Structure 1
């Protein structure tokens, strides 16, 4: 018998690895984004202030999902912290395809009882860091003609839902900034989404010292469900994601109801629930 004719086997190219960078990745929505994206096979760069907790979270994600996870311990309210993450986002040899700007804080005190340092910190983290990290990543994305940015805002950004608090002002910036930049980069194949949840079961309120014991159960959202909805809305090409019908109605009311009526309800809501929504 003659020698068998060799058969050429074509091995399909392996799908390229995608990388997402998530700020505030050790708790709440940031941790939920990390779990969801790792389950989808994304490699991750996770950012948070607590280096020990960050390392533990990264190891759990690697072990459970078999993805690469690198860590950047950084305080994004500081120049050195935000600068370190900017440098990673500009690294052309390891491009980031999805940026999730989740890190943020609230203050459980009105403006007149606050301090200048606290007010500057909330501006640096909730506003400046979001703008700077978005600015750092977009040039590469627009050049590649692909990439996504999710900026975590709040439904409270649609109105003065916490009288005396500057938190809602910072979140209003994130909504308007995201929609405006999103419109300008869409023609380059890049999507920018503002995620505007209401009250989510996370550590946010506890860290801010905001009481929630008297709040009704129906106002709370599940972090994993919020993340699933945000990714779905991003992939549908939407500019804003407001999870659940009750918060969609709230956002519509805040935008279109007479200001006097909004003020009356927000004052009553603050007495019943406590300041802040995230």
Structure 2
């Protein structure tokens, strides 16, 4: 087992933080399984990584909004004899707008991807990690996880779930040599922010970070065995403020920051789909 590749399974790997996480893990010698909907982007990223880092890369195109997709991914890994050393749950999407007017179907799909798929993949792959006593899970949450988010209500709630789940699994797994880390980025330059039109939200103007920087800090924290990683001093201060200020004040601030230009139609963005 000592010579077995450290396979890292990354969902939502075709762009943004997911693609940068793939580059960071590859640079540190991890073999990669790249999973997302956009097969062509995954293939291009895989070729780039193999060229620059020489690690094995497998591409698995599937849509994790499909309730059966996590099981399909686990079976694909088993069929290829791949035992996951690290799972990176990055795939997700957000919608900005009022809860009562955003499309019902897309809000439920957001829960399917941001919550259900994350939970399913953790449950499918964590037992093998515990049995082998190595590896772990890096779940991409958000600084949104630390407070309610009017005008992005479901997105904030899903990230709060990811943070809570990750912290609980961290405590359950750490004594058996397995790390579970929640990466909580704040404002990040990525396709997500551009597509979602959140460049109009004042919440994303101060302290913006590059996706590459967020990925590097996230992997550093995961490899150090940390439960929660919040990249950037501005984001850390914001999370701390959400913890100690009265919740009524925090949610009003979040709502004001996320309101943006209410005359613009709501837009959807995927985190590395």
Structure 2 residue 246 is the aligned partner of structure 1 residue 269: no
Number of the residue aligned with 2:211: 223
1:137 alignment counterpart = 125
Deviation at residue 16 of structure 1 after TM alignment:
4.0
Q: Distance in 2 between the 1:145 and 1:194 partners?
A: 20
Tell me if structure 2 keeps the 8 A contact 1:179–1:239. Answer: yes
Structure 1 residue aligned with 2:174, among 176, 186, 211?
A: 186
**CA RMSD, Structure 1 to Structure 2 (Å):** 2.5
Q: Distance in 2 between matches of 1:191 and 1:258?
A: 32
Distance 1:97 1:267, change over 3 A: same
Task: Provide, for residues 64-86 of structure 1, a one-character-per-residue CA deviation record: whole Å limited to 9, x for no partner.
Answer: 21111110101000034322212
Deviation at 1:235, TM superposition (A): 2.4
SS of aligned partner of 1:151 = strand
* 1:26 to 2:18 alignment: no
What does 1:199-218 align with in structure 2 at a 5 Å threshold? 199-212=187-200, 217-218=205-206
Moved more, 238-247 or 265-274: 265-274
2:139 aligned residue: 151
Note if 1:77 corresponds to 2:76.
no
Q: Deviations over 1:192-223 (max 9, x none)?
A: 00110101111012333434487775331111
Q: Is the 8 A contact 2:138 2:181 kept in 1?
A: yes
TM-score, structure 1 normalization? 0.87
**Partner in structure 2 of residue 46 of structure 1:** 34
Go from structure 1 to structure 2 and tell me whether the alpha carbon gap of 1:125 and 1:225 turns closer, same or farther (over 3 Å shift): same
User: Counterpart in 2 of 1:260?
Assistant: 248
Deviates more, 1:166-175 or 1:218-227: 218-227
Tell me how far apart the structure 1 counterparts of residues 176 and 84 of structure 2 sit (CA, whole Å).
16
Give, in angstroms, the shift of residue 267 of structure 1: 2.8
Give the alignment's TM-score, normalised by structure 2: 0.89
1:106 match: secondary structure? strand
> Shift of the alpha carbon at 1:147?
1.2
Structure 1 residue 261 displacement after superposition: 1.5
Corresponding residue SS for 1:77: coil
Match of residue 55, structure 2, among 61, 67, 72: 67
* More divergent stretch after superposition (158-167 vs 209-218): 209-218
Corresponding residue for 1:113? 101
Task: Give 2:150's aligned residue.
Answer: 162
- Structure 1 residue 196 corresponds to structure 2 residue 184: yes
Seen in structure 2, the aligned counterparts of structure 1 residues 140 and 164 have a Cα distance that, compared at 3 Å, is: closer
Deviations 1:75-124 (A, max 9, x none): 00003432221224556932111110000100122210122211111001
Alignment correspondent of 2:25:
37
Larger Rg: 1
Whether contact under 8 Å (1:215, 1:273) holds in the other structure is no
